[in-house]
Structure 1
Amino acid sequence: MQISRLLQMTYILLEKGTVTAPELAERFEVSVRTVYRDVEALSQAGIPVYTSQGKGGGISLTDRFVLNKSLLTDKEQDEILFALQSLSAARLPDLGEAFSKLSSLFRKNSTSWIEVDFSPWGSGQKQKELYTLLKQAILEHTVISFTYLSGAGEHISRKAAPMKLLFKDRAWYVEAYCFEKHASRTFKITRMSNVQLLDGDGIQLLELQQKARGTADTSRKEGKGNEMPGISLVLNVEPAAAYRIVDEFKEEDIVKLEDGSFLVNTDMPSGEWLIQYLFSYGDLLEVVEPESLRLEMKARTAKMAGKYLG
């Protein structure tokens, strides 16, 4: 991580000339002390970086400095390029230029041997633009307004200050300070629409975001926040769905039975999403326990059958 940060810091200095330590600290979300340690690391690596005091002062490189690829081993070059390719999974289009520059600098022509893409099949240009907009809001500490589709199927208006993008359980989320709830909230990106950037006080927003981030971190450690209550499940899965359960459940939670089917013992968050997830297996899955969920699945199945048999 430090190698990547040092490389990015070098390019920022090359591009902007002089940058203050607080600016770099905010850019990389680290302390000012860490920035000065990075400056020392760059200096020890042979990069002519220096600091100046007073008005207009800051951290700079000598005017004639050119990044020397020999500072990085061949393996480190490959790792940096792969990291940039992996970040493209978040659909950050401005990474393409940085990737091309580094590929040329390192003289790496065969760099497209792998592609990492978390986006769903068929996702369009609008969703790609949404990621760029959210990234801008996070880095510039800007408020956004948007319409959100709640778990109850209702469209609600929200105003929030995004803090970070999260990828969890095959989906992208944005963690943000919600002005309606006056607290940190996590929103699923595919449920967001009509997203717009709003004007705001960047310094005040940064303070709110930092406060909310601390609250969110504490909530995650204590098992609170937006996490749904867990439920213990026993599932019977037919052999035809083996390809799914090996990807979606822990190996120690799966037992293969004599008839070739599988018994899965696991804990999952409860809620409407769980029922829809279980139904995604079709007739290849049976809920054995708990009885309450089994009865709910039975009732839902009967209701669905009624729509076609009635």
Structure 2
Amino acid sequence: MKSNRLFEIIYILLDKKRVTAKELAEHFEVSRRTICRDIEILSSSGIPIYTDKGRNGGIGILDNFTFDKSILSEQEQKEILASLEGLNMLKYPDMNSTLAKLRALFCKSDLNWITVDFSHWCSNNVEKDKFIKIKSAILDCNIITFEYISTYGKITKRCVEPLMLWFKEKSWYIKAYCRQKNDYRIFKVVRMKNICICEQTFIRSIPIEVGEIKEDKNKNIILKLKISKDIAYRVYDEFDIDNILYDNDGNFIVNVQYPQNDWIYGYVLSFGNHIEVLEPIDVRDKILQIVDDIKIKYL
């Protein structure tokens, strides 16, 4: 407890530059005599602390002092603060306090190099609360229950051990061990509803031999797409540059691999008349059938 108080005194002095013994005593709920003894210990340990007497006096620390400067290089200090700033944006517990202390120790100002918003456009606070619950459950190893909407619209009740929050291809997922399936699964966060954190905890991590967990057991399918040059922004935003070729008119020929499910058809149709499925034929025929069904609704 005493060593923690000594370190925190250094943090406070680096942050506020000057404080009184009375302020420190009230902060730590100890006597002024105890604070004076602490200051003597720090001074004898080589920490450049000084005291000024009088009306405007107090306890201070030399402006050019940085704590354990020899242990960490300038670049290492920046990397540590940048990493912690990222955790702070993810609402990691007590990170504000940790950042404030380390900034003071390293004599660095706020970085503010990153911001993360887990919610999608037009969503409300309910969507943000999902991530708070998921984060809490992962850190504390609590089982969670939720309702999950599958690719086909089927709603099931799930009880899982959440292991990792995962961002892939513009969507957030959690990697988890599903107690219904007795296997590892991933779940798309946007399809998770009514998340509840259980008191029951678990002890499990993702085994290395499991590899990349798949959302479902469906096989992948390779699509060959022709996309109009008029929507180049979508092509460069959504496809790997190595998968993009060009025809004689400057349009795009894209080869891409996706899980074989109904999501493919909605995705292709989102390009409107700017896209044509060249291969495989069965996907091309399915798109034609969907278009015909749509036309009937508007006749």
TM-score, normalising length: structure 1: 0.68
TM-score, normalising length: structure 2: 0.70
> Matches of 2:4 and 2:130 in 1, distance apart?
29
Does structure 2 retain, via aligned residues, the 8 Å contact 1:147–1:194?
yes
1:220 aligns with 2:219: no
Residues 186-197 of structure 1: pairs in structure 2 closer than 5 A:
186-197=186-197
> Matches of 1:110 and 1:89 in 2, distance apart?
13
Residue aligning to 1:304: 294
Residues 95-106 of structure 1: pairs in structure 2 closer than 5 A:
95-106=95-106
1:247 aligns with 2:246: no
The structure carrying a bigger helix percent of its residues is: 1
Deviation at 1:73, TM superposition (A): 2.3
Does structure 1 retain, via aligned residues, the 8 Å contact 2:90–2:116?
no
Residue 238 (structure 1) aligned to one of 228, 234, 239: 228
Deviation at 1:132, TM superposition (A): 2.0
Q: 1:113 to 1:144 in 2, by over 3 A?
A: closer
Residue aligning to 2:67: 68
Amino acid at match of 1:135: K
Gaps of 5+ in 2: 8-40, 48-65
Amino acid at match of 1:127: E
Residue aligning to 1:139: 139
Residue aligning to 1:10: none
RMSD: 3.0
Amino acid at match of 1:298: L
Q: 1:297 to 1:159 in 2, by over 3 A?
A: same
Gaps of 5+ in 1: 1-12, 18-62
Deviation at 1:109, TM superposition (A): 2.8
Does structure 1 retain, via aligned residues, the 8 Å contact 2:162–2:176?
yes
Deviation at 1:279, TM superposition (A): 1.9
Residues 83-162 of structure 1: pairs in structure 2 closer than 5 A:
83-87=83-87, 90=90, 92=92, 94-109=94-109, 111-117=111-117, 119-162=119-162
Amino acid at match of 2:219: P
> Matches of 2:108 and 2:273 in 1, distance apart?
49
> Matches of 1:162 and 1:169 in 2, distance apart?
20
Say how many residue pairs are matched: 241
Alpha-carbon displacement from aligned partner over 1:43-98 (angstroms, at most 9, x marks no partner):
xxxxxxxxxxxxxxxxxxxx979992623222222222322343456454754443
Deviation at 1:224, TM superposition (A): 6.7
> Matches of 1:184 and 1:136 in 2, distance apart?
20
> Matches of 1:127 and 1:93 in 2, distance apart?
19
Deviation at 1:225, TM superposition (A): 7.3
> Matches of 2:274 and 2:156 in 1, distance apart?
36
Larger Rg belongs to? 2
Amino acid at match of 1:138: I
